[in-house]
Amino acid sequence: MPINVTIDADELRMLLAMREEHDALQSERDGLRSALRLVTAERDLAEERLRAYRRELFGAKSEARASDQPGLFNEAEVLGTNATPAQEDTPETRIAAHTRKKRGHRKPLDPNLPREVVRHELPEGERFCNHDGHALVEIGVETSEQLDVIPEQLRVIQHQRVKYACPCCDLGIKVTPAPLRIIPRGLLTESALAWVASGKYQFGMPIYRQAVLLRRFGGDISSNTLAASMVRVGLATQPVINLMRDALLDADVIYCDETTFQVLKEEGRKPQTKSYLWAQMTGSGTPIRCFAYTAGRGAKLADKLFTGIRKGAVLMTDVYERLPFAQAPRA
């Protein structure tokens, strides 16, 4: 039998309100579900793009590269994978069997480097004993050291050559002679020339990058000027190089080896053509290192490197047979 339920007007209004609230919640739920599907799709698309970017940046390329060659941007990550960052010295820990140093210990800094002492003191308001209030007295210091690097600093040296004149006549004028320079009237000091040469030939920094670095610190000098200065330095130091080569050829033991490399924009030759850089060094006495460039590896070019070698000298090299007296019969 049907059941008749009677409700009053207040209960009816309450039921209608609950029905409206239920419908609103369902509509909100459907909207949230749609938004969730959209956000999920955007997230999946972003993850796929991220994977593609990672493959493009860090994935294997078609160009061959040596496995031990460090990357251009991730060199610190590669070299620091198995290393411990430089930390301050830590005290030793004594255990029963032996003495073990805590991790993080590093070798001390070079004692010959100049030291700048920075004192860190307690504020005057804290220099009292927390137990009885008496003033504290200094009993020593705890020392730790850090290596500091001063960036390149450029300065201009202004040479003022004093002029003198006779107060009685106009014929006694004298001017202090100009100081000797490796490049007469050169724009760079000998120290600056040494900086460019060591950067180029010892640390492998191209000259155009050195010009950019100088501009960063206020020295607007073109790479052409730096390159021309290196050529002038080479010509000026050639007598010293000749003396070094004479001493090398007069040594008892001489080492020699050559390596290939490519020279860009060399007149009459393609950049892909092999050139050779020869290294010659003494085996005893005063150490001498001489380097020479040749466009090829022929016997005539190699013989020129050892013209005037001392009779009876020992030449140690690889199996290259075109060096002088390399084919001579053994004693």
Q: Write down which residue in 236, 269, 299 finishes a domain.
A: 236
**60 in a structural domain:** no
**231 in a structural domain:** yes
Query: What pLDDT sits at residue 329?
Result: 39
Beta carbons within 8 Å of 236's beta carbon, 6+ residues apart = 182, 183
Q: Which H or E run includes 75?
A: helix 75-79
**6 in a structural domain:** no
**124 in a structural domain:** no
CA distances in angstroms from 175 to 157, 160, 271, listed in the order given? 19, 10, 51
Among the ranges given (61-70, 90-99, 309-318), the one the predictor scored with the smallest mean pLDDT: 61-70
Angle between helices 223-236 and 207-216 (to 10 degrees): 120
**Whether the Cβ atoms of residue 226 and residue 210 lie closer than 8 Å to each other:** yes
Write the pLDDT tens digit of every residue in 229-287.
999 999 999 999 999 999 999 998 999 888 888 887 788 888 788 888 899 999 888 89
Q: Write down which residue in 177, 212, 236 finishes a domain.
A: 236
Asked if the model's pLDDT at residue 12 lies above 90, the reply is: no
**220 in a structural domain:** yes
* pLDDT range class, residue 62, cuts 50, 70, 90: very low
**66 in a structural domain:** no
Write the pLDDT tens digit of every residue in 104-163.
567 889 999 999 999 999 999 899 888 888 898 999 999 999 999 888 889 999 999 999
Angle between helices 190-201 and 207-216 (to 10 degrees): 130
**33 in a structural domain:** no
Q: Write down which residue in 202, 236, 270 finishes a domain.
A: 236
Asked if the model's pLDDT at residue 84 lies above 70, the reply is: no
Residues 265 and 308 in one domain: yes
More confident residue, 251 or 99: 251
Residue 217 belongs to what domain range? Answer: 185-236
Query: What pLDDT sits at residue 123?
Result: 93
Residues 293 and 258 in one domain: yes
Q: What percent of the chain has pLDDT over 70?
A: 80
Domains in the chain, number: 2
**293 in a structural domain:** yes
What value, to the nearest 5°, has the Cα angle with vertex 80 and ends 77 and 81?
80
Residues 225 and 255 in one domain: no
Write the pLDDT tens digit of every residue in 287-317.
999 999 888 887 788 788 888 888 888 888 8
